[in-house]
Structure 1
């Protein structure tokens, strides 16, 4: 994939089990790194860094090195919790790292480096999140915690596996028909009570990008408004069929100033991506000059 010099490329990807394969399955780590390297990303927002903390974080550094020497961050796995941490990898030739935070929540910690686009005074909060897969109430709490990254006029960009659904009527993928899904556990994990019935859980998206004064812009919806309907394609699962049709559960959000620099949001779910993971890869392309102006506010 040819690179474009005047753009910033940001990838969000849940690489299933970090490409290691489950129960002795095929190892796809090299293929995953090749796919990412072909994009030449400046920022990678990763989910399911399974095993990447082991052996001195060897897998994490192997991915960062394969991508041209990106600077990697990830929280340590927490005892008794998910063993699939998230992470963020950053191009040090384009961004300076100002600080690093971890938001420790009962399921998975949120990885939150704070960076500056070189030459720009305003910081940018980056975050990778993987919302709780089993508890809708905890997902709502996690989403509210993410809103704090935009507090006090801060700029932020967040990529996640939301394990929940978009809330608007503008989607091109219909929400699950729960009468046709026999997995009772999945039903409990992904639905909420509302108006006396059970519906698909859309609360995280409502908290992040809903209402009259939304905190974030859903970049796929913004791209669709820029005549890119493919940005609203389903992202997961690319493999399972027992939990209903694939849905747009992987999303990237930006504060409005950052979203204004978006040029395109692309969803990659080709054979190579599907061989690696049950999640599509999201690529957000930003105009570098517009982003630079957004992060250089006038007094």
Structure 2
């Protein structure tokens, strides 16, 4: 990593903000090196401190050659999950690894990348954060439900404080949910009607049987994560902090097969981290680069430091 990039990100965190990006970059550029490099230059231009990537296809070839290429473009350290399905990149001046979680559960078609990271500015005795980049099943709502239930284990990781008390670590996770948020937020992308999806197999992929025996659009992953104490940060920002509709903007565009605009890419955090949120928005990406847009979360570095050093009590345990 260049000294210039490391210095810039370290300065940004000290000046008060941390930038987290989540992006499902379509097929990791489908083998086109120039497109892949350009896409990650777009990410780098946003000065991220943490990047959660999905569709990392081929990044493990030739001894992780592409993964190292992307580390260099981003100026970040990276961790590639099982099967080159997902990845996490972190600015080493801002986040340091405490441990990896390679065993992610039995239900995953596209396994997540899960880590425990320490926010370096908070100090070596601070509580770390459980971080996961994930990609839920494309075709099966039943499998998505099971995968999401397994995903909640990273909202249940424990940490022993310097005073000997064992507490639950905060979690931050993001990815492609291949499903919809539960309705109820003003300005949020509305649920599509089943008949608005022209492709019949895709109608199946994005729905399940409801209690009355009719098919309903799949919102169960969102409901599961929020039941487990994780909050959709865009929903939080739009409803409680006076955020704009930019927070709940669509993350995939309408198309003939998949139906109307949808917000299937989302970032979730534990309630303890919500007070650190200072902005959430969606950065639109041209269709010739990817079929998904970039979700950006901005956190207040001082607030985050206080939470991780227990100077602000967590609101959920």
Q: TM-score over 0.5 for the alignment? A: yes
Instruction: Report what 2:27 is aligned to.
Output: 17
Residue 221 of structure 2, aligned match among 174, 182, 204: 204
Shift of 1:240: 3.1
Structure 1 vs Structure 2 CA RMSD: 2.0
Q: How does 1:34-73 map to 2 (within 5 A)?
A: 34-68=41-75, 70-73=76-79
Q: Could you tell me how far 1:27 is from its partner in structure 2?
A: 5.0
Q: Answer yes or no: is 1:256 the counterpart of 2:271.
A: yes
Write out per-residue CA displacement over residues 244-295 of structure 1, whole angstroms, 9 at most, x where no aligned residue: 1120000000001112201001101143xx3311000011110000011111
Structure 1 contact 158–252 (Cα < 8 Å) conserved = yes
The alignment's TM-score, normalised by the length of structure 1, stands at 0.89
1:149 counterpart residue number: 154
User: After TM superposition, what 4+ stretches of structure 1 lie above 6 angstroms from structure 2?
Assistant: none
Counterpart-to-counterpart distance in 2, 1:27 and 1:138: 35
What is the 5 A alignment of 1:224-243? 224-225=238-239, 226=241, 227-236=243-252, 238=253, 240-243=255-258
Structure 2 portions without partners, runs of 5+ = 1-7, 159-167
Residue 302 of structure 2 is aligned to residue 289 of structure 1? yes
TM-score by length of 2: 0.84
Match of 2:164 in 1: none
Alpha-carbon offset, residue 74 of structure 1: 1.2
- Structure-2 residue corresponding to 1:109: 111
How many residues end up aligned between the 2 structures? 282
* Matches of 1:87 and 1:131, distance apart in 2: 14
Q: Is 1:216 matched up with 2:233? A: no
d(CA) in 1 for partners of 2:181 and 2:131?
21
Cα shift at 1:228: 2.0
Match of 1:183 among 199, 203, 210: 199
Distance in 1 between residues matched to 2:254 and 2:194, nearest whole Å = 19
Name the CA distance, whole Å, in 1 between partners of 2:100 and 2:300.
Answer: 25
